[in-house]
């Protein structure tokens, strides 16, 4: 027996008639009404709208049927009728056995519909157009199943104060702030292109993506590619994916601001060539007033690298780092913990003396600014690359900040050993000249103690790393 149905209502009517006449499922073939033209045989008429006593079905069935009816599969009516038959023929609790083959099949259809409906709620993108001076929102969407009527009320609840239409190839729906009106399917070409806000949305989409967690498979599973065509943000995906490794690398390493001195780096970067090239460095204005470049010195295989701030007056005249009063203090403390200056590599974060005019034409040390430190950083990094020290000891905040940026605070973090990209052990402590300059005697003594303690810890750390 052949029965034609077009939607859930006509199925219910037909099914009621079949049940009353006691037609078992294997004797019925359901066909879609829109296929009628192709059929030569007229379909049997079984419609019955009269309520039938004793044919009540659990509400859960109607709920399930509503979703199943949205599925495109032509088998859905047959499947529904089979379960309906069994429910009314002694298996009233059948729906609870979700692992039953017939029930399971209906659930599979319902699930596909539900997923499709969910995707529609998620991936409809309205575009604003102007209609006679009024805002109007239009979206084009391509669902897998016949879900427009099923999902439209959701949009009416969500956007009650807007006028909108959702167009799909099978059906369309509009909301005029009062009621929903359904219409025929609409091709994509009739939908508006673009919306002023799409650029803003794309900006958001790109910024909220964390390249360190790239996982394209998960994205594709949730956002099937067939929907990408109507998602403005999807255009960015290839570029975001391509750029992710590089962006991640930048996140893992400190952001490289380009140091101006890198223009002066020689082709061969052994220490001697570096020192020679540094003598011609004009990457920042400091070279103009200084006598000469004071480059680092020490053996290329030094295990400990000391980094100071900047050469002083004496260093500027002699051309060697740490030879003034601060250098003497440093030597003393180093010797105290058994470190031989000859075996260390000693350098400064900034290689030219910076000064101001003082009384009687004395040259007064002027602390380098962030610009000079950054400009000169290429030299320091080249030295680190050559020497590959096991440990770096930064003397003073400027040296430490040259590595870690302006946020580093000596008072909070001095004396702690950190693992860094530059050396397995990295520590910062006071600058020896700070110890000489402190006006308060007690503070000076205190700082000196801390300084000695830090240098001792550095020496111990180094020894432990053998």
Residue 200 touches which member of another protein, ligand SF4, none, C-beta under 5-8 Å by kind: another protein
Any alpha helices (H) in 124-270, and if so which ranges?
A: 148-158, 198-208, 216-222, 237-252
Residue numbers 353-412 binding another protein by CB under 8 A: 403-409
SS (H, E, C) 333-390: HHHHCCCCHHHCEEEECCCCCCEEECHHHCEEECCCCHHHHHHHHHHHHHHHHHHCCC
- For position 365 contacting ligand SF4 by CB under 6 A, the verdict is no
C-alpha 244/C-alpha 12 separation (Å) is: 54
DSSP-assigned letter for residue 192 = P
Using DSSP's 3-state secondary structure scheme, residue 29 falls into strand
Q: How far is the CB of 355 from another protein (least distance, A)?
A: 27
Residue 221 touches which member of another protein, ligand SF4, none, C-beta under 5-8 Å by kind: another protein
Pull the structure tokens for residue 368.
């380098």
Nearer to ligand SF4, 108 or 386 (CB): 386
Query: How many helices (H) and strands (E) are present in the chain, helices listed first?
Result: 17, 13
What x/- string results for residues 373 through 392 when contact with ligand SF4 is judged by CB under 6 A? --xx--x-------------
Nearer to ligand SF4, 61 or 379 (CB): 379
Q: How far is the CB of 280 from ligand SF4 (least distance, A)?
A: 9
Nearer to ligand SF4, 84 or 382 (CB): 382
What x/- string results for residues 119 through 138 when contact with another protein is judged by CB under 8 A? --xxxxxxxx--------x-
Q: How far is the CB of 154 from another protein (least distance, A)?
A: 7
Which region, left, alpha or beta, applies to residue 177 given φ > 0 means left and ψ of -120 to 50 means alpha?
A: left
Stretches 108-116, 123-131, 369-377, 419-427: which one binds ligand SF4 (CB under 6 A)?
369-377
What x/- string results for residues 228 through 267 when contact with ligand SF4 is judged by CB under 6 A? ---------------------------------x------
Stretches 220-228, 281-289, 437-445, 453-461: which one binds another protein (CB under 8 A)?
220-228
Q: Which residues pair with 345 in a beta bridge?
A: 305
Residue numbers 421-450 binding another protein by CB under 8 A: 421, 426
Residue numbers 73-112 binding another protein by CB under 8 A: 93, 96-101, 104
Between helices 8-20 and 59-69, what is the axis angle to 10°? Answer: 130
What x/- string results for residues 325 through 364 when contact with ligand SF4 is judged by CB under 6 A? -------------------------xxx------------
SS (H, E, C) 287-343: HHHCCCCCCCECCCCCCEEEEECCCCHHHHHHCCCCCCHHHHHHHHHHHHCCCCHHH
Instruction: Please tell me the total number of residues recorded for the chain in this structure.
Output: 466
Question: Residue 356 — φ and ψ, nearest 5°?
Answer: -125, 160
Nearer to another protein, 154 or 182 (CB): 154
Among 83, 139, 274, 278, binds ligand SF4 (CB under 6 A): 278
Residue numbers 186-205 binding another protein by CB under 8 A: 195, 197, 199-201, 203-205
C-alpha 303/C-alpha 332 separation (Å) is: 19
Residue numbers 147-176 binding another protein by CB under 8 A: 154, 157-162
Using DSSP's 3-state secondary structure scheme, residue 233 falls into helix
C-alpha 292/C-alpha 302 separation (Å) is: 25
- For position 275 contacting ligand SF4 by CB under 6 A, the verdict is no
- For position 454 contacting ligand SF4 by CB under 6 A, the verdict is no
The DSSP H or E segment spanning 114 is helix 101-123
Sites of contact with ligand SF4 (CB under 6 A): 261, 278, 281-284, 286-287, 293, 350-352, 372, 375-376, 379
């Amino acid at each position: 027996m052949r029965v034609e149905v077009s939607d859930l209502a006509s199925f219910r009517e037909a099914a009621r008639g079949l049940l009353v006449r006691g037609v078992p499922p294997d004797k019925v073939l359901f066909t879609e009404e829109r296929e009628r033209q192709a059929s030569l045989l007229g379909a049997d008429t079984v419609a019955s709208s009269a309520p039938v006593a004793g044919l009540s079905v659990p509400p859960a069935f109607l709920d399930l049927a509503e979703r199943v009816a949205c599925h495109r599969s032509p088998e859905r009516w047959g499947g529904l009728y089979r379960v309906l038959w069994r429910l009314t023929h002694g298996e009233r609790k059948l729906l609870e056995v979700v692992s039953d083959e017939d029930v399971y099949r209906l659930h599979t259809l319902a699930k596909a519909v539900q997923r499709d409906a969910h995707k529609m709620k998620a991936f409809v993108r309205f575009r604003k157009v102007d209609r006679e001076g009024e805002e109007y929102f239009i979206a084009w969407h391509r669902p897998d199943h016949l879900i427009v009527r099923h999902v439209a009320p959701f949009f009416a609840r969500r956007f009650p104060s807007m006028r909108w239409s959702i167009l799909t190839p099978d059906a369309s729906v509009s909301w005029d702030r009062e009621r929903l009106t359904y219409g025929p399917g609409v091709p994509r070409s009739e939908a508006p292109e673009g919306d002023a806000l799409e650029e803003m949305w794309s900006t958001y989409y790109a910024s909220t993506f964390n390249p360190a967690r790239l996982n394209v498979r998960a994205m594709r599973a949730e956002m099937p590619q067939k929907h990408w065509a109507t998602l403005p943000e999807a255009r960015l995906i290839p570029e975001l994916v391509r750029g992710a490794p590089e962006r991640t690398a930048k996140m893992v390493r400190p952001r490289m601001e380009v140091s101006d001195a890198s223009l002066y780096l020689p082709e061969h970067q052994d220490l001697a060539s570096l020192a020679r090239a540094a003598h011609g460095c004009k990457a920042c204005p400091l070279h103009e007033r200084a006598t000469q470049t004071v480059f680092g010195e020490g053996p290329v295989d030094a295990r400990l690298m000391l980094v100071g701030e900047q050469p002083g007056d004496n260093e500027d005249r002699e051309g060697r780092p740490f030879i003034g009063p601060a250098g003497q203090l440093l030597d003393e403390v180093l010797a105290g913990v058994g470190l031989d200056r000859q075996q260390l590599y000693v350098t400064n974060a900034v290689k030219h003396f910076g000064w101001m005019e003082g009384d009687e034409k004395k040259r007064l040390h002027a602390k380098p600014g962030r610009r000079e430190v950054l400009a000169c950083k290429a030299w320091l990094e080249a030295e680190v690359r050559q020497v590959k020290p096991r440990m770096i000891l930064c003397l003073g905040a400027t040296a430490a900040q040259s590595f870690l940026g302006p946020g580093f605070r000596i008072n909070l973090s001095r004396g702690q050993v950190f693992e860094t990209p530059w050396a397995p052990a990295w520590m910062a402590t006071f600058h020896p000249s700070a110890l000489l300059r402190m006006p308060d005697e007690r503070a000076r003594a205190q700082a000196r103690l801390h300084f000695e303690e830090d240098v001792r810890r550095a020496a111990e750390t180094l020894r432990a790393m053998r």
